[in-house]
Structure 1
Amino acid sequence: MSTTNAFPKTIYAVQHLAFEDLGSLEDVFYQLGFRVRYFEAGVDDLTPAFVHDGLTIILGGPIGVYETEDYPFLKDEIALLKQRLAADKPTLGICLGAQLIAHALGAKVYAGHQKEIGWGPLSLSLRSNQVLSALLNNIHVLHWHGDTFDLPENAVLLASSDVYTNQAFEVGNNILALQFHIETTQENFEKWLIGHTCELHHAGISIHQLREQNIEYASALEQAAFEIIQKFLKRIGYSS
């Protein structure tokens, strides 16, 4: 997959929650001439998404990787993901998606010592061709998780926060896992505040503060997300 024509022009996205979609990334893909196809975890047959030769993105959600008894579909999703990763097919995981990748690669995923919800910067590893370099200069990402993971064997740590060390990792050129969110948009953030209202109130997190942070930081993150996706697409074999 070294040329534009050879690279599959459909992005497959596995969704675990209706309002946690590709967000700003969807606009990026459309601008680059891609199509986007969603699969709903727990409802759709996920096999086509995981055998896809092009890029498959596994999105976030409020459930835990380890909750397979309550959500049996996770067993099938994890099995399909293990096969995909073993074949080194282009895969991006965001939040729950990153945790699923870590688990599928043999790492432990577990409840963290505290919830990390809100906007904040990251500390990036100093690597040449750092795929997340657009997040330098104090770009704030959206953190929204309570679980965390150990770093899988052969994975390279890319980013950390003050709360959790393992925020992003890569395996080779084709597998990228982001614990944080880069896909949120300023316009659609209210859906998150509505959809997660019970979690926010239970955790004592200020909805007003999150809304204000969104206004302050979301636009810069959208631009950074555009650069990150372009860089990742180039690494996995797509050239515009």
Structure 2
Amino acid sequence: MKPFLLLATRADDVAADDEYAAFLRYSGLREDQLVRHRLEQHPLPRIDLDDWSGFIVGGSPFNVTDREKTAVQRRVEAELADLVARVVAADHPFLGACFGVGVLGSLPGGVVDRTFGEPPTSVRLTQTEAGRTDPLLAGVGEHFHAIVGHKEACRVLPEGATLLVAGEACLVQMFRIGRNVYATQFHPELDADSLAERLRIYAGHGYCEPEEADALVAQARAADVGDVREVLRTFVARHAR
């Protein structure tokens, strides 16, 4: 099969490697089937869409709404914007987790801002009417829990987007453009153990305070987030070729 490409942006090696391991674990892919490119380290070469079964974008310390951006962040955002424009035009399989909402939500008509940020923990989510018939959510219950943690969110969907999953504190939790391009505000790859690892790195950086981390991880451990992993498995099963 043609591999999938994971586009990662975490500069911290521990967080980056844990994220990659999580995507491998819950997608069921091997390393040769899920190639990782760390955008914060290396510019993205010209991509031939036909070389890849699909694309996955992981979470990021970058936010499209950041007021001050490094040269690396500006480069990463420009490269992803160029790729996403081509992906959407071709309706090529794409799944953007968390940072993917910022990337896809910034397409024409969309509004991404800091109105609906959420602390890092588990939340209860609900499929919309469109979500209940979407193939990527076939293995997920109508109501399910997932782990979130974000400073920004999509407040207005971009043109042509369909809302698939809604939350209470943050409405836009998953949407689709065309038939094959998806973004999730929640992390389909994240479990409580990985959340604890990430909070050791990111607590105190605007997501939560260090003294809040243990309680947030405990709340995540108390929720069953098993269903959400089916999003990754189904994405791979549908698009591997």
Q: TM-score of the superposition, structure 1-length normalised?
A: 0.81
- Structure 1 letter corresponding to 2:234: K
2:217 match: 211
Alignment of 1:155-234 (within 5 A): 155-199=161-205, 206-217=212-223, 220-221=224-225, 223-234=226-237
Corresponding letter in the other structure for 1:206: E
CA distance in 1, matches of 2:29, 2:55: 18
- The aligned counterpart of 1:3 is none
Query: CA 1:171–1:211 in structure 2 vs 1: closer, same or farther (change >3 Å)?
Result: same
Which segment drifts farther, 24-33 or 92-101? Answer: 24-33
CA contact (8 A) 1:169 1:177 kept: yes
119-128 or 198-207, which moves further after superposition? 198-207
> d(CA) in 2 for partners of 1:104 and 1:197?
30
Task: Name the amino acid aligned to 2:121.
Answer: G
Aligned positions, number: 228
The reply to whether residue 59 of structure 1 matches residue 58 of structure 2 is: yes
Q: 1:199/1:66 Cα in 2 relative to 1: closer, same or farther (>3 Å)? A: closer
The answer as to 2:100 corresponding to 1:89 is no
Is 2:43 the counterpart of 1:45? yes
1:146-196 CA distances to partner (integer Å, 9 max, x unpaired)? 211121111110011111111110123211110111211343332211111
Quick one: distance in 1 between partners of 2:9 and 2:30?
Answer: 25
Inter-CA distance 40–104: structure 2 relative to 1 (3 Å threshold): farther
Mapped pair 1:142 → 2:141 = no
Q: Distance in 2 between matches of 1:113 and 1:226?
A: 24
TM-score, with structure 2 as normaliser: 0.80
Match of 1:136, SS state, is coil
Pair 1:119–1:76, CA change in 2 (3 A): same
Q: 1:125 aligns with which of 112, 123, 128?
A: 128
| Counterparts of 1:85 and 1:166, CA distance in 2 | 19
Q: Which residue of 1 aligns with 2:74?
A: 72
Q: Deviations along 1:111-150, whole A, 9 cap, x unmatched?
A: 2254343211102112324522444264311110121112
Q: Residues of 2 paired with 1:198 and 1:84: CA distance?
A: 35
Deviation digits for residues 32-54 of structure 1, max 9, x if unmatched? 79622111123212235674432
| Letter matched to residue 16 of structure 1 | T
| Deviation of 1:103 (Å) | 1.4
Q: What is the Cα-based RMSD across aligned positions, in Å?
A: 2.8
Q: Can you give the 5+ residue segments of structure 2 that lack an aligned partner in the other structure?
A: none
**Preserved contact between residue 136 and residue 231 of structure 2 (Cα < 8 Å):** yes
Give, in angstroms, the shift of residue 30 of structure 1: 4.2
